[in-house]
Structure 1
């Protein structure tokens, strides 16, 4: 008896059947919900439809249209109805549409594609309309956009259809404003309407609430100046919040004065005036906060701020009040008190308060800092046993404190000097495991005898620079957004992500991280790194837990340590015989990869080259015409100077990097003053806090770049994203 064969129905057949049942014309609004709530989730359960499945198309996301076209055409013409074939057709159509004259060919790729590629079905319908428009079939193009609106009424993608249709029928623009006010295209609509007539209060309110870019500033100011008598308290609250988010604290304070009274608003009024150096107004507002909300958490912070504006005796009274009544602010208040007492030469009292912090709040960052101060004092007195004991307490009691990697590393160094080699090894291994992305992890790895290089041979280490083959999947945003991002359809991805944010002023941890990743698509690396790094300052315990989970992933560190301009960095590093990761590490510290940035003293561009330095270097390398804001010119000049500093110091990268920041005369004087036999101690002895921090940051950057972008690093046993970095 023959066994019956199991019937296997291809997914494409199932999709075509569903479309046939529902109606091939796809005119019912329910279809959009079916795609989103039934078909897409089911697809994601299939291994070949998972976003993280291997994909030949996604590897082409950052390749130019011309360079990827042949490969995409091969994939698009495969017989198997795979996800990659659908992706290839979508990208080919988009590349053709962006050329503004290949509508017919684009239509051929897009026709019926929404059935095979439901993840991006609304975008496919939108592109179908654009392809038809390029063939001058405007009537069918409009029908496609109307179909998009009818079939996917809840999708932000329909704003693009509203925009196009609204150019002939203004009602569609009003629908976009009413339904999707935070969509980037809607903001463009509003700005266009305001350009025609700026005296539209409702539009001013909408753009104020939904656009936190600099473009909105003048309209927010107009709203306040022209309509202040008509604004309600809740609207003043929104205006104050947006001023605050824009860093315009004085204006925010004035807006909050018209908003409903709350502890947060009163604190911001006071703080806004204080930042604006309106001390009298600030003191009055702090007093109101204290009187009206004596027990709220904002009052504790307000008392600490107020203590900076009054006499020493009054300040000490306020700080004692905080220490007594506001436990969350108490360690910071007592630390302020120590500073005040020290400034008044009341050392004994300051020491008593310091001991109080350590005993009452042993797990606070302030206690960690004070333990470290005590440990350093003992070390300077050559009492290494006591120094080791005090520093060891930091790793036990304060694992999250900023000083802990440094203190734990020196537990190992002091143990070495005491001949306690097993204890030293345990300390270095603790740093490497618990803080694997820190400067002190690198120094610990070296002290453990790992082949990670030292200051004297970093220059000579040769590395291949290997970037990930595909973009990683962002943790925030919808499936549709993630697919667009993975494809490299950046502007659509950004617009969709912004439109879908539930609370733009208070994004979740994963949303803020994703915002940071998206900033890099527009070259805003300074803002990106700041957004991602500031996740560590979240105060909510659950949000901090989410951040700690996030930073265990390599994606977090790739985003914090991006490598734009890789080809130019490798080119000029090779030309100068420099380690490309060291050059990248220096650029990250100097400019955060912003080519137009300029320091207050005139240092310009990626490697912050001074104009006079550029003028001195240019003739030596035959560079007749150059611009410090040109990426290629700047790296050319900057790497020459970094090579020069290395040659000055026998290729010692520690001294070369210190010289890049502080100048050769200062470094020469430090070489005369301090022993160079122990590089770790030499770094500790650098008397300029800025330069000491600069050296540690650049080499910490270097360590991360090696671990992330060096192919052999993963097999070296050094990468460990599970630690506390």
Structure 2
């Protein structure tokens, strides 16, 4: 499978930037003249439960991706229609846009009485009214509206925002007690801790609910000095440290927590990472003895084998893993084979046979088969290579090697003159691994209109933008806010509801990834959504497989930020905009402030010296270069990508390789790598980083093409529906 960037992206307690996001929309409370009794009258209207189908029919949701200026006239027309959910949405969105432009009076007109017509967002309507009143200087009315939200919607997340903005101590106490997972509550706590740091119960709230926010580690450090904490509180601290990669500190905290398999393991692992080998061995052994059947025990046995000072002393641990923990048996067998090869060839052969038979569906079995297939292919024994590779896609369909093996089975079949079998294997690769780089190579080889290394630069595929996907978790209120593009309030609502951060369901993790993307946290969002494929339990894998069959999952995994800038500069440079997007996703995951150790900056990771070299050639003032500005970065990056294409006769394979490895290295490779077959050229690139980079960029390109271009999307769906078989040798 496509593997994702495993970057640990941490953003903790509310600083200035978070405060701006948190409190970006200020709140208020309703008109004073109406009685609470009238306001609380039960209404017959039940909000329609959202579905992808109903979402797609909404003309308002379709406008969310447009700027306020672009959508204003359309929303004006929609708000004049008959009473409907979309009329309510149009009024709310139009009012929100007006408030952002500080046009409070027309916003209030739109919001007047909307809380009755739009019960799903009623407290948020009141908060918008309060915000508008505050803009008009009506502090009293704004305060009344906030009070009404607290009184009439005391259990809803909107109440936490009202409590925060009322800002009275007793209201803040209520927020801490009732909404500990709300980000504005964290801000209240942070301010209180600045005034008086010695408040362990407040620190514990942050440790439990805000462990992934910027600045948490100093809070944990102070909390860990408290000698009165209970075992369950030490576990909270240990987990927060662990999630922030403070493994040594986590080990100390877990050592004071209740002894569970996970806590035992994390104590031992923390000690091992910290170089306390002997102590780690003791803790791993205690885990094995106390919880012999726990899943953590299998990992502990592997760690003990890894730490054995004499290699043969690892064998008893490995044998225990093989006999009791089948999910780790493949890894244990590989280690056992390595040891036995120097001691007992017959036993090593028996272990290998066991790996390929009983544990043939393990990643290790796939890796061994692929290694053998490559050896046979190098010796031009394509029949044997085919035989070794053919079981991989069937036995190991979730392996990263599966699409690669399927594709090369087709290539080797072609070399053997078995053209029908080759065609069938190419089709099998597209059908079963539509997300893979090798699916693109198969499609290109079959002559489909997807571009190849020599033509992809000049292509300009149609791109159909999408609406936001319907989140798979969360309340209807949260989903409504998210689909309306009300990202601050949607995030506050979601954080309040998302109580299961440590062990999220597949649906929750996907939804949290969507929210990260909506906030502009593209690295974190893409990473969260991508790593769903690594879920381990059968139920979780089944849930992931069901989700991964939805195009919305893949479109979230391959998002389209900065589309306008990409299209503008791609057109100017005569570059395929999807190729540019693919390169940006690989270089920075759309993080405008990304910076490499070498100083490469921004979306396309442009080096400052490179930008200074380019600037005079495009009549750009070098003093005005801002590589963190998306438009400027794409301007410079596309110029350089065009330059690399010109260097290599518009061959995108060489241009992309040069973008990563530099023109000097590519020039060295050209005389010595196979030129007749571009696929063999890619496999022969001597730098693993560049080899993977080429495959990842073109894999990204293929995914953007199949997900956003209707023609190719339809073709891929057709292949998937036909379910071709992989031909046998």
Q: Does 1:123 align with 2:160?
A: no
Tell me which residue corresponds to 1:160: 161
Instruction: Determine the structure 1 residue equivalent to 2:86.
Output: 84
Q: What is the aligned residue count?
A: 687
**Map 1:364-383 → 2, pairs under 5 A:** 364-383=362-381
Q: How does 1:700-715 map to 2 (within 5 A)?
A: 700-715=699-714
Residue of structure 1 in register with 2:110 after alignment: 109
* Equivalent position to 2:266, from 258, 265, 268: 268
Displacement, 1:617? 2.6
**1:719 positional shift:** 7.3
User: 311-320 or 379-388: which moved more?
Assistant: 311-320
Q: What SS does the corresponding residue of 1:52 show, helix, strand or coil?
A: helix
Partners of 2:569 and 2:638 within 8 A in 1: yes
The CA distance in 2 between the partners of 1:555 and 1:187, in whole Å, is 32
Partner of 2:238: 240
SS in 1 for 2:87: helix
Give 5+ residue unaligned stretches, structure 1. Answer: 1-22
Given that 1:378 and 1:384 are in contact with CA atoms closer than 8 Å, whether structure 2 keeps it comes out as: yes
Secondary structure of 2:46's partner?
helix
Report the Cα offset of residue 670 of structure 1.
2.5
Task: Give 2:255's aligned residue.
Answer: 257
- For residues 588-610 of structure 1, give each alpha carbon's deviation from its aligned partner in whole angstroms, at most 9, with x where no partner exists: 11111112212223222222223
C-alpha contact (below 8 Å) 1:568/1:632 kept by paired residues? yes
**Whole-Å separation in 1 of the counterparts to 2:351 and 2:337:** 6
Query: In 2, distance between residues paired with 1:670 and 1:163?
Result: 62
Task: Measure, in 2, the Cα distance between the counterparts of 1:157 and 1:443.
Answer: 50
When residues 222 and 685 of structure 1 are mapped into structure 2, their CA distance, relative to the original with a 3 A threshold, is: same
Does the 8 A contact of 1:446 with 1:454 survive in 2? yes
Match of 2:504 in 1: 507
Q: Cα 1:623–1:593, aligned 2, differ >3 Å: closer, same or farther?
A: same
After the TM superposition, which residues 206-225 of structure 1 pair with which residues of structure 2 at under 5 Å, given as runs? 206-212=205-211, 213-225=213-225
State whether structure 2 residue 620 is matched by structure 1 residue 610. Answer: no
Query: Cα gap change, 1:50/1:719 in structure 2, threshold over 3 Å: closer, same or farther?
Result: closer
Q: Return closer, same or farther for 1:450/1:315 CA change in 2, 3 Å cut-off.
A: same
1:253-283 Cα offsets, whole Å, 9 max, x none, are 1100000111111111111222333333322
Name whichever of 410-419 and 470-479 sits farther off.
Answer: 470-479
Residue 587 of structure 2 corresponds to residue 584 of structure 1: no
Residue matched to 2:57: 54
User: Aligned partners of 1:616 and 1:103: how far apart in 2?
Assistant: 48
Does residue 1:25 correspond to 2:22, yes or no? no
Q: Distance in 2 between matches of 1:439 and 1:524?
A: 26
Cα distance in structure 2, aligned partners of 1:436 and 1:109 = 47
Q: 1:543 to 1:325 in 2, by over 3 A?
A: closer
Cα shift at 1:237: 0.8
TM-score (norm 1): 0.89
**In the alignment, which of 513, 521, 526 is matched to residue 524 of structure 1?**
521
Q: Between the two structures, name the one with larger relative contact order (CA 8 Å, sep ≥ 6).
A: 2
Following superposition, the deviation at residue 580 of structure 1 comes to 1.1
**Match runs of 1:288-437 below 5 Å:** 288-311=286-309, 312-340=311-339, 350-437=348-435
Q: Aligned-pair distance for 1:386?
A: 1.5
Q: Deviations over 1:26-70 (max 9, x none)?
A: 449976xx67xx7435x349x9x9741523322222333344333
Q: Check conservation: 1:29, 1:153, Cα contact below 8 A.
A: no
Distance 1:578-1:345 versus aligned 2 partners, 3 A rule? farther
How far residue 650 of structure 1 moved from its aligned partner, in angstroms, is 1.3
Aligned Cα root-mean-square deviation (Å): 2.5
DSSP-derived class of the 2:599 partner: coil
Does structure 1 residue 175 correspond to structure 2 residue 174?
yes
Normalised to the residue count of structure 2, the TM-score between the two structures is 0.89
- Name the structure 2 match of 1:205: 204
Q: 1:40 aligns with which of 43, 46, 55?
A: 46
List per-residue Cα deviations over 1:536-587 (Å, max 9, x = no partner): 1111111111111111111111111112111222222222221111111111
Is it true that 1:150 corresponds to 2:151 in the alignment? yes
In the aligned structure 1, how far is the partner of 2:340 from the partner of 2:646? 48
Judge which range, 401-410 or 273-282, deviates more. 273-282
Distance 2:607 2:544 in 1: 38
Structure 1 residues 185 and 456, CA gap change in structure 2 (3 angstroms):
same
Contact 1:411 1:424 in 2 (8 A): yes
- Paired with 1:192 and 1:28, the residues of 2 have a C-alpha distance of 38
**Inter-partner Cα distance in structure 2 for 1:249 and 1:349:** 38
Change (3 A) 1:174 1:29: farther
User: Any gaps of 5 or more consecutive residues in structure 2?
Assistant: 1-32, 724-729
**Offset at 1:435?**
0.6
Query: Quick one: distance in 2 between partners of 1:154 and 1:721?
Result: 47
- Give me the whole-angstrom Cα distance separating, in 1, the residues matched to 2:216 and 2:362: 41
Cα deviations across residues 411-455 of structure 1 (Å, max 9, x unaligned)?
111111111112112111111111111111111112222222211
Instruction: Flag the 1:577–1:719 CA change in 2: closer, same or farther, 3 A.
Output: farther
Look up the match of 1:465. 463
Shift of the 723–361 alpha-carbon distance from structure 1 to 2, 3 Å rule, reads: farther
CA contact (8 A) 2:55 2:61 kept: no
The answer to whether the Cα contact below 8 Å between 2:450 and 2:712 also exists between their aligned partners in 1 is: no
Could you say what secondary structure the match of 2:306 adopts? coil
